[in-house]
Amino acid sequence: MKTRILLAAVLSASVAFAGPPAPKKEGIEGQGYVWNAQEGEKIEALKLKGDVTRGEEAYEVCGACHLPSGAGRPDGTFPQLAGQHTTVLIKQMADIRAGLRDNPTMYPFAATLIDPQELADVSAYIENLCIPTDHGKYEGADAALQVAKGKDLYEKQCKECHGGSGEGDKSKFYPVIAGQHYKYLLRQMTEIRDGHRRNANPDMVKVIKPYTDDQLVAISAYQASLKMPGAMCGDGKK
C-alpha cells in the first residue's frame, strides 16, 4: 500500500509537471473522427478480467473526489461512478488519458493507473458498488412538472440507448445514468449539445443539438429521478 501511494505521488507529480496532453483536434467537431475507435489501451483493458480486490486498492486515490462509496457529489463537481458499466468506465478513462475528453482536474490521477490491467481492475471494483439513492435531484418548486416534461423527451429520444430505467447498455458503451447527480447531468448535457465534450457519441449529439436550455433542465431532472432495479443501494445490493 505504501509503495502504491508513494508511486502515485511520484507519478502524479511528474505528470502534473508535464500537464495533460494537448487536446487532440479530433472530436465531434473534427474531420474524420471515429467515435469509440477500437484501438489503444482500451482494447487491451476490455479483454482483461478485472480483479475487484486489486481494484479496491487502485480506487483509493479516486475516493478523494468520487468518495469511497463512488457516490460523487450532489453539487455536480464529481460524478457518481458506482454501478457504472466497466466498458463505459474503461472508455472514459482511456479517453481522458489520451486527451479525447478534457478533464484537467482528474488527469494527473487518471495517469497514475499503471496499465490496462489496472484499468480493468478499478473498473470491476466500481461496477460492483451499489448506486446510492440519495444523489442530487432537481430541487425547484416545479420539480414534478420538469420531471414530467423530461420523461416525455427521454422516452422519445433517449430510452432506446440509455434504457427505460437509465441502465444504459454495457455492450454498446452506453452509460448508466440512474442515480447520477442532476447538476452533473445538466453540465454534461450542455457540454455535449455545445460540442465541448469531444468524445460524445455522434448519434446522441444529433438528438440533443436542437434542445433549448429549458429542455436540458427538464431532461436532466427526469434522468436524476431514475432508479435502476437491483443496482440501487439497499435494493438487493449493498
Give the footprint of ligand HEC on this chain (CB under 6 A): 36, 61-62, 64-66, 77-79, 81, 89, 91-93, 103, 105-106, 109-110, 113, 122, 154, 157-158, 161-162, 173-175, 177, 185, 187-189, 199-201, 203-204, 207-208, 219, 223
Which residues, other chains included, contact 37 with Cβ-Cβ below 8 Å and sequence gap of 6+?
none
Is the distance from CB of 226 to CB of 165 less than 8 angstroms? yes
Closest CA to 128 of 56, 67, 57: 56
Could you tell me the smallest distance in angstroms from the CB atom of residue 227 to ligand HEC?
A: 16
Distance CA 50, CA 225 (A): 30
CB of 176 to ligand HEC, least distance (A): 8
We find the least distance from the C-beta atom of residue 154 to ligand HEC, in angstroms, to be 6
**Under a CB-based contact definition with an 8 Å cutoff, are residues 124 and 131 in contact?**
no
Written as nine digits, the cell of 134 is 440519495
CB of 229 to ligand HEC, least distance (A): 19
